[in-house]
Amino acid sequence: MEISRSSTPEAPPQDLWSSILDSVSSSRSIPSKQILILGQPSSGKSAIASALLHKPISEEQKDDQRTDFAIGYDFADVRDEADEDTLARLSVYTVPSAAASYTALLPHFLPPRSSLLQTLVVIVLDWTRPWTFVEELETWLSWVEQWSKGDGSRELEITREESRERLQAHLQHYTEPSAEPLPAANSTLSSTILPLGPGTLTHNSAGVSIIVACTKADLIDDGNDMAAGTSGMGSMVKGKGGEWEERTDGVMQVLRTICLKYGAALFYTTPLPTNLQVLRQYALHILFMPPAPSPAMASGSEVQAPTRNLFPFTHKPNTLDRDRIVVPAGWDSWGKIGVLRDGFDAKMWGEAWERDLEAEEGQAGETGAKKAYANLVPDQGSKPPPLPPFNNPTPEQTFLAKNYDEKKAERDPRGAFRNPQDFAGGAAAGIVGPLGSSSFSLPNVERAMSEMETGMGGPSLNASIAGRPTPRTAAPVGRPPGLAALASTGPAGIAGSRSPVSPSPGGVSPNPGAAGQTQHEVLQNFFQSLLSTKDRAAGSARSSPVKPGPNGSANGATEEGS
């Protein structure tokens, strides 16, 4: 039998090349996974991002004063254990702070409709500022809830329900890792699934995968007496006594209670690579979380076990080592939280958290979680320094005028000779020179010369010598001022006491030619007369030595007097 064929061939698709590319890309496409890191500035987000991407921290990331982008982005490939096949492309987004200008950009890069099932949110808290934990958690968790609602479309609602069922199944089927292999009987699970415990997954309606990472946990036990906000719990670590342990355990209990309400995990991290590696393994474990198991149609008494996770998490929970806290989602409960320290009421804290969320924005309730946490961990943040006292400076012109009047007389050295009365009593005696002295005027020079010559005359010498005419040199008319004080100790006084010249009975008369001389010439003549007088006194002493008289008098003065 012959097969009839169409006389006309089938028309090819209009966009054949695009259909071929789409089929190839869908068959060989790599799934995409996203991690959104939320935290305040300098809280350790870059260290966590580098650990999640399995990349070393660059020098720029270590600098706390670096400039953050509005949204930071980096990516890396996630490979299998043999490092042969690429399982997913991991993208990491970070925001510098909780400012609305930054968080408003995230829905454009991570639309919840397409990325809700493939996104993990990591909320970073800084242990150097523990008094901000509850406030920051409320800020970020409220934003995550708002982001997951999106535009409220029907497709998004289906995705939200699927994501919540998956998270709820993960919490219900959580088993603590064990080194012993599971028995074969556990390959299937009983259809009776225990419900979630009290206070578990009461919020997070979209089932967003969340990890709360408290960074810088190595500073909790730092007991140095440092300023608050620079090391660990500030002044709370002093002494490391019972109060310190109660407060740090109380902080952990509060965090675990809040994480339990959102189905979130709690980790304490340090800069050690081994510690950050545990966080990375758990993040991959959550990102590759299998979907919720569907009921088996063949049997009504059993359900299939969840699909095996490609990245199993093998680390056991740890609530004792303060720098390596590991609380996986699904393990914790109110009973385990109360065992850590007696006296903690998880139900009360859960209700207080509810009151804070129901209160209007900006109005903290008196019985809310924020108020209770502030009593547990008081704010020890750095306060702004007080303003310095107001300084009213002197106007520039007033300051300059005051100094101009004070320095005016010192500008011209000759001012002392022009106005000697302005400096009377202000200059030190015995200073030779024209600057800053008031005793170098011509009247003072004449008075000093008269006192010196009178002191060399009658009172100290014999009256007969005073009456006998003796050759004398004419006394200079001008001498520098200030020699009145130097007459006894200065060069003039010494020369006067040694000079054999007797003053004339009439004293010293001013030189008629002195009026026509300048002050510098008068001073020069005065010092020249001193030198010439000293030379003549020395010469006369050598030429005529003193001979003792009969009664021991010098130079026969007694004989002449008798």
d(CA 54, CA 57): 9
Q: How confident is the model at residue 535 (pLDDT cuts 50, 70, 90)?
A: low
User: Which amino acid appears at position 294 of this protein?
Assistant: S
d(CA 274, CA 75): 21
- Residue 298, pLDDT score: 39
pLDDT tens for 278-316 read 999 999 999 999 888 775 543 444 545 557 788 899 999
Mean of the pLDDT values across residues 233-258? 73
How does the average pLDDT of the chain come out, rounded? Answer: 73
Query: 517: phi > 0 → left, psi -120 to 50 → alpha, else beta; which?
Result: beta
For residue 243, the tally of other CB atoms under 10 A from its CB is 11
Rg (CA), the chain: 52
- Residue 181, pLDDT score: 52
Structure tokens belonging to residue 463:
């009256």
pLDDT > 70? residue 507: no
* Of 174 and 187, the one with more pLDDT: 174
d(CA 377, CA 251): 8
pLDDT > 50? residue 126: yes
Q: How confident is the model at residue 461 (pLDDT cuts 50, 70, 90)?
A: very low
pLDDT > 70? residue 186: no
Q: How confident is the model at residue 476 (pLDDT cuts 50, 70, 90)?
A: very low
- Residue 135, pLDDT score: 92
The DSSP letter of residue 546 is -
Structure tokens belonging to residue 240:
């490391």
Which residues, 6+ apart, have CB-to-CB distance to 37 below 8 Å? 45, 48, 49, 92, 93, 94, 95, 122, 124
pLDDT tens for 377-415 read 888 766 566 677 777 888 888 888 887 766 665 665 555
User: Which amino acid appears at position 420 of this protein?
Assistant: P
The DSSP letter of residue 508 is -
- Residue 244, pLDDT score: 74
Nearest Cα to Cα of residue 323 among 411, 425, 216: 216
Nearest Cα to Cα of residue 251 among 355, 101, 369, 100: 369
Q: Which of 28-32, 145-149, 221-225 shows the lowest per-residue confidence on average (mean pLDDT)?
A: 221-225
- Residue 477, pLDDT score: 44
d(CA 104, CA 239): 45
CATH for 26-59+67-176+197-221+243-293+309-376, options being 3.30.2040.10, 3.40.50.300, 1.20.1260.60, 2.60.210.10:
3.40.50.300
pLDDT > 60? residue 465: no
Nearest Cα to Cα of residue 356 among 203, 232, 482: 203
* Of 250 and 243, the one with more pLDDT: 250
- Residue 236, pLDDT score: 44
Which residues, 6+ apart, have CB-to-CB distance to 76 below 8 Å? 53, 54, 55, 90, 92
- Residue 329, pLDDT score: 94
